[in-house]
Chain A
Amino acid sequence: MKLTRGLGLDRFSGLYLLLIFIVVFTVWQPHLFPTVSTADTVLSGQAVSAMIAMAVLVPLIAGEYDLSVGATANLSAVVALDLQTVYHWAVIPAIVVALLSGVLVGIVNGFIVVRLRVSSFIATLGVGSLIAAAQTVISGNNEPLPEISNAWLNFTQTTIAGFQIAIIYVIALAVFLWWLLEHTPVGRYLHAVGGNSEAARLSGVSVDRWVWTSLIMSATISGAAGIIYGSLIGPSLTFGPGLLLPAFAAVFLGSTQLKPGRFNVWGTVLAIYVLATGVQGFEYVTSAQWLSSLFNGVALIGAVSFAVWRQRKMSQSKHEIIYQTEPPSSSSASSSDSIAPEQG
């Protein structure tokens, strides 16, 4: 335990793993792997996944699930493309309206969770299904035509030093969320609500308002992710739902990293890119299609069981503390205060 703490083998295990991947694959495939094009494939290839994971992250911090993120992303992609190709709107208004469709989903989710008191798991599952229906109606179930205007494509595909600009959006979003969630009262309230909503309420935090806000944020970020997908990759009626589970996996995996036990932005981003790097490397080595699924599954279960094991070790010592203070109604001062607090 001492060794893992000293080198940070637990909270930085993702970074170590990333380094190992880079070294191993560089040695193994020296011509293919260590190139700018590989880096770009990994980075911008995961731009949408990373944004969806960050969308899921916000309500999870407040203790709520948003299962409609994939459907929302898909909807806004279809809206953005259809407005341009069918209705011949300009790029900017199309993007704005597509983003607003995401905001609207968030408002509806929040209404159902906060006002109708439906659990967010059920509410967003249902809304996700409704969005899929709405999308079919809007698009007439025809896949939108690819928009080929330069303004639309350059929006994500402009390259700077070999990297597509989409990755800049991911970094900007991550920095913004890191600031918002870790350095402002908004983030603090969200963490408080997720930590113990009743205690937060008794401390004067408007729990309902923050839950609602978190759901609007997740839907808006999903909407943005959908627009980026439409520009970067192209039209699709079905890409959204497949993004949902990997996003949750990344957030949970990320909560074992950097700030263990706490959902956090950089942990989430790290999780996404460690997995993507590994998968990319293996793809150069072997063409087996099932490898990436296997790899993702092993990493998720492995990392989370390690985190659970670690937490159980901590709560065992916590249990001793509770045990020693509990029995008599007026226990002696020495017994309860002699236990040193364990620091996470």
Chain B
Amino acid sequence: MEANDLEPALEIAGMSKSFGHTQALDSVNLHVSKGEIRALLGANGSGKSTLIKILSGFHRPDDWQLARVAGQNIDFDSPKFAERLGIRFVHQDLGLIDSCSVLDNIEFVDGFPCRFGTIRGSESRRKAKVALGLVGLEIDVTTLVRELTASQKTGVAVARALFGGTEGVHLLVFDEPTATLPAAEVEHLLEMVRSVSRQGVAVLYVTHRLEEVFGFAKAATVLRNGREIITTPLETLTRHDLFNYLVGRDFDDSQSKSEPLSDTSPVLEVDGLSTQQLHEVRLSVQSGEVVGISGVTGSGREELLPAIFGVISRKGSVRIGGELIPSMRPNFSVRNGAGFVSADRKGSGGMMNLSIRENFSITGLREFWRWPKIRKRAEAKAASEWLGRLQALDPTNTEGTLATLSGGNQQKVILAKWLRMAPKVLMLDEPTQGVDVGAKAEIHREILATAEGGAAVLVSSIDIDELVRLCHRVIVLRNGRIASDLRDADLTATNVSRETLLSESVMDVPAESIPA
């Protein structure tokens, strides 16, 4: 395979793609050789997902000078070009069926070897074992997928992608495979990826965890704002250099924050909070304060707000205004003045088939209830007023179903249902995800207004710029613990990014001394 090393597997030059006014990719180049592991890095919105979606045929590029896989031109208009050209994907959501065996999961994709309509057991087991062998995974093929460890599951997904051998497979794309993997299992996964690349398959490896690419990928390509910033060998690079390429110098680190708060008593007190991801988290938030939560996927960021609100089971104590809130009783939290906007808007944020008015008022109907009926006109009027205040598209439309609104307007409805309750504690998980720029600004304005009205606000977001602009302080989670609590002069986008993305705390350490 050594001889193949410099043969190109993927060649892309001058590729551009825009959505509306947003330039998602701007003349990007990417060359990956056979058998090479290439890290593709970039912050959120840097364009790496767009690039992957182009390779998988989900988006069509606007313009390109060169796009070839193993010397063959990519025809973006032909369906299934990715499969035909030997590009395979392992997505973060592996798409395995937990209740089926490893064997079944592998062979659902390419079909079972059959004779007279009956599955040939021994033949299908043999083929599955070969596929697992390619990733160096030694497990019984009849094991159910739900009994596997997280890294083994990823391995099965890789084996499935390579089913039928590596012949004809030229590029394997990994989209954040370690995001939800426990730290101890990352090395297993990396070893599997290496084993695949040794067969001559080029690997494009997307990750948010910077530390794992060192000693693993040969080179890294860094994207920022849709541009290719640099492609560089990793051997000579320090973490700090890589980080600077990633976030650039275009942060506005100036202080734009409202004045620090005078000391008031805490409204929300959390102590010893533990969940699957979180360990003994202690936290208190004052009235009028906006606190940001940052952390990479798997750091515990996704679990913190649901755990406090009582949506997922937890250990430890949560107090709102001194009142102890039991776990797994969201109605109790609501009654004590808490509100929660879930990150999963479709799954648990709104009731898509009910009207905007009904979604708006569900948090408390007492206000509209006068014997013998709910006063729908008052309800619609209140909904309209709030939607007008949030500058929703059409505040007079209160009777359409939530499903008919755009994402930004749906989010405004969900936000309005809490804002009208004047919550003591408002928790927002990814409040502006999938929301356009205009709506984002209005949502931010309302969050600040709510805090000024005396609420304690927590905002969890992967968008670090958003946190820095919005929050009085930002808590960074790492491995389920609070790694740092940045406020006042320390609260800059650079600091938050560094604390979030690097594995060890580098605060108070001069940049030059960071080990490679």
- Chain A residues with a Cβ under 8 A of chain B: 179, 183-185, 188-189, 191-192, 195-196, 198-206, 261-262, 314-315, 318, 321-322, 324-337, 339, 341-344
B20 within 8 A of A: yes
Contact present for B406 and A203 (CB under 8 Å):
no
Contacts of A318 on B, CB cut-off 8 Å? 403-404
Interface on chain A toward B: helix, strand, loop, or mixed SS? helix
Q: Which B344-378 residues have a C-beta within 8 angstroms of A?
A: 347-354, 358, 361-366, 369, 372-374
Which of the 9-residue segments B199-207, B291-299, B332-340, B469-477 touches chain A?
B332-340
The residue in chain B whose Cβ has the minimal distance to the Cβ of A204 is B334
Contact present for A185 and B24 (CB under 8 Å):
no
The residue in chain B whose Cβ has the minimal distance to the Cβ of A186 is B365
The residue in chain B whose Cβ has the minimal distance to the Cβ of A314 is B404
Contact present for A183 and B373 (CB under 8 Å):
yes
Q: Within the complex, which residue of A205, A329, A332, A341 is in contact with B331, where a contact is CB–CB below 8 Å? A: A205
Contact present for A331 and B362 (CB under 8 Å):
no
0/1 string, B43-56, CB within 8 A of A gives 1: 01100011001000
Contact present for B436 and A335 (CB under 8 Å):
yes
- Docked Cα-Cα span, A204 to B351, in Å, equals 14
Contact present for A330 and B348 (CB under 8 Å):
no
Could you name 6 residue pairs across A and B whose Cβ atoms are closer than 8 Å? A192-B351, A192-B358, A195-B353, A201-B331, A326-B407, A342-B404
Contact present for A199 and B348 (CB under 8 Å):
yes
Which of the 9-residue segments B186-194, B391-399, B489-497 touches chain A?
B391-399
Contact present for B406 and A339 (CB under 8 Å):
yes
Contact present for B358 and A329 (CB under 8 Å):
no
B408 within 8 A of A: yes
CB distance from B315 to the nearest CB of A (A): 21
- Docked Cα-Cα span, A43 to B417, in Å, equals 44
Contact present for A204 and B406 (CB under 8 Å):
no
Contacts of B182 on A, CB cut-off 8 Å? none
CB distance from B454 to the nearest CB of A (A): 20
Q: Within the complex, which residue of B333, B372, B409 is in contact with A183, where a contact is CB–CB below 8 Å? A: B372
Given A321-B406, A332-B20, A337-B408; A203-B400 close (CB under 8 Å): no
Contact present for B19 and A335 (CB under 8 Å):
yes
0/1 string, B7-37, CB within 8 A of A gives 1: 0000000000001111010000000000000
Contacts of B53 on A, CB cut-off 8 Å? 327
Contact present for B351 and A195 (CB under 8 Å):
yes
CB distance from A156 to the nearest CB of B (A): 28
Q: Within the complex, which residue of A188, A201, A261, A334 is in contact with B353, where a contact is CB–CB below 8 Å? A: A261
Q: Within the complex, which residue of A191, A261, A342, A343 is in contact with B358, where a contact is CB–CB below 8 Å? A: A191
- Docked Cα-Cα span, A315 to B401, in Å, equals 12
Contact present for B434 and A326 (CB under 8 Å):
yes
Q: Within the complex, which residue of B397, B401, B407 is in contact with A322, where a contact is CB–CB below 8 Å? A: B407
Contact present for B50 and A328 (CB under 8 Å):
yes
Contact present for B24 and A203 (CB under 8 Å):
no
CB distance from A60 to the nearest CB of B (A): 13
- Docked Cα-Cα span, A199 to B346, in Å, equals 9
CB distance from B17 to the nearest CB of A (A): 9
Contacts of A332 on B, CB cut-off 8 Å? 19-22, 436-437
Q: Within the complex, which residue of A191, A206, A342 is in contact with B354, where a contact is CB–CB below 8 Å? A: A191
Given A184-B374, A335-B436; A205-B362 close (CB under 8 Å): yes
B405 within 8 A of A: yes
The residue in chain A whose Cβ has the minimal distance to the Cβ of B356 is A341
The residue in chain A whose Cβ has the minimal distance to the Cβ of B433 is A329
CB distance from B362 to the nearest CB of A (A): 5
The residue in chain A whose Cβ has the minimal distance to the Cβ of B45 is A329
Contact present for A343 and B404 (CB under 8 Å):
yes
Contact present for B333 and A341 (CB under 8 Å):
no
The residue in chain B whose Cβ has the minimal distance to the Cβ of A196 is B351
Given A185-B365, A321-B406, A337-B406; A329-B44 close (CB under 8 Å): yes
Contact present for A195 and B436 (CB under 8 Å):
no
- Docked Cα-Cα span, A326 to B24, in Å, equals 13
The residue in chain A whose Cβ has the minimal distance to the Cβ of B438 is A333
0/1 string, B403-440, CB within 8 A of A gives 1: 11111110000000100000000000000001011111
Contacts of B44 on A, CB cut-off 8 Å? 329
Q: Within the complex, which residue of A189, A337, A343 is in contact with B438, where a contact is CB–CB below 8 Å? A: A337
Q: Within the complex, which residue of A202, A321, A343 is in contact with B330, where a contact is CB–CB below 8 Å? A: A202
Q: Within the complex, which residue of B374, B393, B417 is in contact with A203, where a contact is CB–CB below 8 Å? A: B417
- Docked Cα-Cα span, A188 to B376, in Å, equals 11
Chain A CB count within 10 A is highest, among B59, B347, B364, B404, for B404
Contact present for B335 and A335 (CB under 8 Å):
no
CB distance from B507 to the nearest CB of A (A): 28
Q: Within the complex, which residue of B20, B362, B401 is in contact with A344, where a contact is CB–CB below 8 Å? A: B401
Contact present for B347 and A198 (CB under 8 Å):
yes
B311 within 8 A of A: yes
CB distance from A195 to the nearest CB of B (A): 3
Apart from A327-B53, A330-B440, A336-B439, what are 11 other A-B pairs with CB-CB below 8 Å? A188-B362, A191-B354, A192-B362, A196-B351, A202-B311, A315-B403, A325-B406, A329-B44, A330-B22, A335-B436, A337-B439
Contacts of B351 on A, CB cut-off 8 Å? 191-192, 195-196, 199-200
CB distance from A210 to the nearest CB of B (A): 11
Contact present for A185 and B311 (CB under 8 Å):
no
- Docked Cα-Cα span, A327 to B49, in Å, equals 9
The residue in chain A whose Cβ has the minimal distance to the Cβ of B328 is A201
- Docked Cα-Cα span, A314 to B19, in Å, equals 25
Contacts of B363 on A, CB cut-off 8 Å? 203-204
Contact present for A202 and B340 (CB under 8 Å):
yes
- Docked Cα-Cα span, A308 to B348, in Å, equals 24
Contact present for B20 and A203 (CB under 8 Å):
no
Contacts of B450 on A, CB cut-off 8 Å? none
Contact present for B406 and A330 (CB under 8 Å):
no
Contacts of A341 on B, CB cut-off 8 Å? 393-394, 397, 400, 404-406, 409
B105 within 8 A of A: no
Contacts of A189 on B, CB cut-off 8 Å? 362, 365
The residue in chain B whose Cβ has the minimal distance to the Cβ of A311 is B353
Contact present for B352 and A331 (CB under 8 Å):
no
Chain B CB count within 10 A is highest, among A261, A314, A337, for A337
- Docked Cα-Cα span, A322 to B352, in Å, equals 13
Contacts of A179 on B, CB cut-off 8 Å? 372-373
B342 within 8 A of A: yes
Contacts of B335 on A, CB cut-off 8 Å? 204
Contacts of A325 on B, CB cut-off 8 Å? 406-408, 434, 436
CB distance from B397 to the nearest CB of A (A): 6
Chain B CB count within 10 A is highest, among A198, A261, A325, for A325
- Docked Cα-Cα span, A315 to B404, in Å, equals 8
CB distance from A236 to the nearest CB of B (A): 38
Contact present for B330 and A201 (CB under 8 Å):
yes
Contacts of A201 on B, CB cut-off 8 Å? 311, 330-331, 348
Chain A CB count within 10 A is highest, among B45, B393, B401, B409, for B401
CB distance from A73 to the nearest CB of B (A): 29
- Of all A-B residue pairs in the complex, the 10 with the closest CB atoms, nearest first, are A204-B334, A195-B351, A183-B373, A333-B438, A332-B20, A198-B348, A185-B365, A335-B20, A332-B21, A329-B45
Contacts of A321 on B, CB cut-off 8 Å? 404-406
Chain A CB count within 10 A is highest, among B19, B22, B349, B417, for B19
The residue in chain A whose Cβ has the minimal distance to the Cβ of B18 is A328
Given A195-B354, A328-B24, A334-B21; A203-B334 close (CB under 8 Å): yes
0/1 string, B263-295, CB within 8 A of A gives 1: 000000000000000000000000000000000
Q: Within the complex, which residue of B45, B330, B347, B393 is in contact with A337, where a contact is CB–CB below 8 Å? A: B393
